[in-house]
Amino acid sequence: MNLRIPAININIVPKPVFRAETGFSMPENKLEKTPNNDTFEISVGYVNDTHGQTNNMMRILSGIKGDLKLSAGDNDIGDEKNDKIHLATAKFLNIADIKASALGNHEIDMSQKDCIEAINRMNGEMLAVNFEQIPLSEQDEDDIKKFGRADLKGALKKSTIVEVKGEKIGLIGACPMDMLERLTHPNYYKDCSVEDLDDTIELIQEEIDKLRGQGVNKIILLSHMGHKRDIKTAQELDGLDVIIGGHTHELLKDIKEGENLIYSKTGEPVIITEAGRDGNYFGKLNLTFDKDGVITKAQNNLGNTGNFFKNMINQYVFDNILGVPERVGYVKQAPPPPANLAEENPHANFVCDIMREKTNSDIALWHHSGVRNFFHEGEIDSRDVKDMAPFLDYIVVADVPEDTLVEAFKKAVKVTYESPNMKPGLLAVSGLNYTVNPEEGTLTEMNFIDKDGREHEIDIEHPDKNKKYRVVTDEFLMSAGADYNVLAPEELYVEKYPFDKDVLISSYIKEKNEPVIINHTGRIRYESDDDD
């Protein structure tokens, strides 16, 4: 049976920005009965992976609608150095009236104590059914004090019930399995763990059964587990209706069977949403339930955040937290952002050029996964620039051996092409160019470009361990590693600047005092096995 719902324009700006199509098909045995008046309709506004993008947050506030508004996590970004971003994120969640959020990995960039303070600023609930922590009474007191540990598990809930239009809606949260592998400060969370997917599914089912025992038959999972895990979860549960998803930055438009319309183990429909990354999109999911709490109609709309204007009142509120942004300059020409983290990013290359020039280094690097926005044509201010790199990662310079540099690039290429989401991404460069084979996931060629523009081939099979290049990047890439190799430990820094890339970018553009043109490409070449 094919159910279709007419498109609904929920946009408040002049041009339409939501895509709303089709309904969806279901097995005949599930929807043979004729709908009656005993139904319940609800609209769910949702966000995920906004990553502390304050400009996009203000635009989302002008457009997000729904009887119930929810988040799939990664609302925030950064550690204690980003305190103003944390305050602005909490203000966004409260003004948007987000009733609950999943716990994402970026929520714990900070210490446990700071994370609890951030949770307490929210009017809504932070949910994680699969988060575990060793009781503080069983931990070393010195570690508790040194690493800012606290009863984080006690600040989280597994599930909650909200009432919408006289109906009870059950909400459950799940954090990502790889959360503790992606930490800014690993020592802060050595007392914590996350259940694996199979155990998490069992825990979610226990919460569903508990909620149904309280008379709740409409249940939503707020998941920061990633899209593939969401599909498996939907297939193996009984009684779940919707998954508001995040973490893998999928852009799930409309409703498509097999992609975001999945059937549970009892054959009932489960709708999955995900609205990309960095708050570039947000969504509205319209649902109709029958008297048994089974979805009979659905419509998934995505709003393009860039088509909404900042509300002046919200702008004033955020300016009071973040400070009034300073005009930096004018961008005359800029390409759209790349589609994925394996594509060359001219915006990031431009930033690398600035870092290299301003620090007089041989090579500048920036990891594509750290680029959280792009340059828009027109006037830009300091907040636009900061949105490019919302993490506060200090710029550092070190002398890096050639063999260390080559191995870092080899790993970056390998892990990026092994990942279905192209994470952690390739490296933007200045003073280098390199070639990759996407089919094999390998680095095949690499060249150093000196200050006079001369190209020098680097033997990637036998790199020189004695030759060194002065490299500038941020502290995360230089020494934190994460999914990349460590280039140089902190004790080997030549220089550490007390600011991040946004300061250099703003200073450079203001000093140039001319319209900026972004066309910095040709530094990554892509070859295939068919190339000669």
Instruction: Please indicate, yes or no, if residue 400 is contained in any of the structural domains.
Output: yes
Rg, C-alpha atoms of the chain: 24
Which H helix or E strand runs over 57? helix 54-63
**Which residues lie below 8 Å from residue 136, measured CB to CB, with a gap of 6+?**
144, 149, 150, 151
Nearest to 237 by CA among 286, 204, 197: 204
**CA distances for 47 relative to 35, 64, 65, 232, angstroms:** 31, 9, 11, 22
**Residue 482 token pair:** 């994460």
**CA distances for 159 relative to 75, 99, 122, 221, 401, angstroms:** 19, 12, 16, 9, 51
**CA dist., res. 442 & res. 172, Å (int):** 41
CB 175 within 8 A of CB 131: yes
Same domain flag for 196 and 116 = yes
**For 113-145, what is each residue's pLDDT tens digit?**
999 999 999 999 999 999 999 999 999 999 999
The number of folded domains in the chain is 2
Which pLDDT score is estimated for 531? 63
Instruction: Please indicate, yes or no, if residue 487 is contained in any of the structural domains.
Output: yes
- Sheet architecture: strand order including 18-19: 18-19, 295-304, 281-289, 40-47, 68-71, 98-102, 125-127
Q: How many CB atoms lie within 10 A of CB 118?
A: 22
| Three-state secondary-structure class, residue 23 | coil
Which pLDDT score is estimated for 316? 94
Instruction: Please indicate, yes or no, if residue 137 is contained in any of the structural domains.
Output: yes
Instruction: Please indicate, yes or no, if residue 177 is contained in any of the structural domains.
Output: yes
**CA dist., res. 106 & res. 26, Å (int):** 36
**CA dist., res. 31 & res. 263, Å (int):** 13
Q: How far is CA 98 from the centre of its chain?
A: 17
String of b and e for 126-150 (b: at least 16 CB within 10 Å)?
Answer: bbbbbbebeebeeeeeeeeeebbbb
Sign of the torsion formed by the C-alpha atoms of 113, 118, 124 and 128: negative
**CA dist., res. 214 & res. 208, Å (int):** 10
Q: Angle at the Cα of 328 (from 326 to 330), degrees rounded to 5? A: 135
- Long-range contacts made by residues 304-308, C-beta under 8 angstroms, separation at least 24? 304/17, 304/280, 305/56, 305/59, 305/60, 305/63, 305/279, 305/280, 305/281, 306/59, 306/280, 306/376, 307/11, 307/13, 307/15, 307/17, 308/12, 308/13, 308/17, 308/59, 308/60, 308/62, 308/63
| Beta pairing partners, 428 | 366
Which H helix or E strand runs over 356? helix 346-359
Same domain flag for 354 and 414 = yes
Same domain flag for 359 and 277 = no
E-state strands within 212-254: 219-223, 242-245
Same domain flag for 60 and 196 = yes
Q: What residues of the chain score a pLDDT lower than 70?
A: 1-37, 481-482, 529-532
**Residue 246 token pair:** 């995040």
- Sheet architecture: strand order including 493-496: 427-430, 363-367, 468-474, 395-401, 493-496
Same domain flag for 373 and 450 = yes
Pairing verdict, β 98-102 and 68-71: parallel
Which pLDDT score is estimated for 37? 60
CATH code (residue 121): 3.60.21.10
Same domain flag for 278 and 419 = no
Q: How many CB atoms lie within 10 A of CB 417?
A: 18
Which pLDDT score is estimated for 407? 96
Same domain flag for 270 and 399 = no
Q: For residue 309, give the DSSP letter.
A: P
What is the pTM for the complete model shown?
A: 0.82
Single-letter residue type at 334: A
Continuous H helices in 166-308: 197-213, 227-236
CATH code (residue 401): 3.90.780.10
Same domain flag for 279 and 337 = no
**Which residues lie below 8 Å from residue 337, measured CB to CB, with a gap of 6+?**
345, 347, 373, 374
3-state secondary structure 92-157: HHHHCCEEEEECCHHHHCCCHHHHHHHHHHCCCEEECCCEEECCHHHCCHHHHHHCCCCCHHHHCE
Range of the structural domain that residue 112 is part of: 42-307
Q: How many CB atoms lie within 10 A of CB 332?
A: 12
Instruction: Please indicate, yes or no, if residue 481 is contained in any of the structural domains.
Output: yes
Instruction: Please indicate, yes or no, if residue 12 is contained in any of the structural domains.
Output: no
Instruction: Please indicate, yes or no, if residue 10 is contained in any of the structural domains.
Output: no
Single-letter residue type at 412: A
CB 330 within 8 A of CB 321: no
Which pLDDT score is estimated for 529? 63
The last residue of one of the domains, among 307, 333, 349, is 307
| Three-state secondary-structure class, residue 83 | helix
**Which residues lie below 8 Å from residue 531, measured CB to CB, with a gap of 6+?**
none
The last residue of one of the domains, among 249, 278, 307, is 307
Same domain flag for 300 and 334 = no
Instruction: Please indicate, yes or no, if residue 15 is contained in any of the structural domains.
Output: no
Nearest to 361 by CA among 399, 403, 389, 394: 399
Q: For residue 263, give the DSSP letter.
A: E
Same domain flag for 331 and 279 = no
Same domain flag for 258 and 345 = no
**Which residues lie below 8 Å from residue 304, measured CB to CB, with a gap of 6+?**
17, 280, 281
Nearest to 85 by CA among 77, 94, 73: 77
The last residue of one of the domains, among 257, 279, 307, is 307
**Which residues lie below 8 Å from residue 8, measured CB to CB, with a gap of 6+?**
18, 20, 286, 299, 301
Q: For residue 492, give the DSSP letter.
A: G
**For 94-119, what is each residue's pLDDT tens digit?**
999 999 999 999 999 999 999 999 99
Q: What is the biggest distance separating any 2 CA atoms in the chain, rounded to whole angstroms?
A: 78
Same domain flag for 171 and 224 = yes
